[in-house]
Amino acid sequence: MSTSDGASQGDEALGRWLEARQRSRAEHEAERDATLASDADRERVCNVLSAAFAEGRLTSTELDERTTQALASRTHGQLEDVLDGLAGPGQATLWATRPERGVLPRIVFWIVGLFTSPFVFIGTMLLLFGDDMGSRLFGVVFLVIFLPGLIALYRWAHPRG
């Protein structure tokens, strides 16, 4: 097997993977666009339209047309059509599936987790394998002190949406 054969097979595999990823992304977007919009979603779109009008990006006629269309929209896809041309490139939709906090909170979580995980581990081991009631109680105290803070920090750094 020559190097060019390996390279072409690798390129072909990469191409198939990219196509599959693109199909998956398109299916996800189609599914999101077909989901029903709530009254709160329609209200947020109307607020964006009002802000765009205040900034001079829409005329009063366009504002009336788009507001009417937004209030009549049933799905997120229809609401996306109402906002067409107003969102900047790379800007998330109003109903993104998950809020993004950025990298810094995740770094903070991993640094704090690195320093507190030994205490959680020791507390767990004392609770499970402690010789007497005193060591088990000490394990419970360790877990009560460190575990809730670590869980809360995780939920802050990795929001669900």
Domain positions in the chain: 12-82, 103-157
Question: Maximum CA pair distance of the chain?
Answer: 78
Q: Say whether 92 sits in a helix, a strand or coil.
A: coil
Residues 155/126/129/115 CA torsion (nearest 10 deg): 50
Which sign, positive or negative, has the C-alpha torsion 70, 74, 78, 83?
positive
Is the full-model pTM beyond 0.75? Answer: no
In contact, 21 and 50? CB cutoff 8 Å:
no
| pLDDT given for residue 1 in this prediction | 47
Q: What is the pLDDT averaged over residues 104-123?
A: 92
Q: What are the start-end ranges of the E strands in the chain? A: none
Share of the chain above pLDDT 70, in %: 78
Instruction: Give 33-66 pLDDT, tens digit per residue.
Output: 677 888 888 888 888 888 888 888 888 899 899 9
Looking up tokens 């189609």 gives 30
Confidence of residue 93 (pLDDT cuts 50, 70, 90): low
In contact, 79 and 141? CB cutoff 8 Å:
no
Alpha carbons 117 and 147: distance in angstroms, whole number? 9
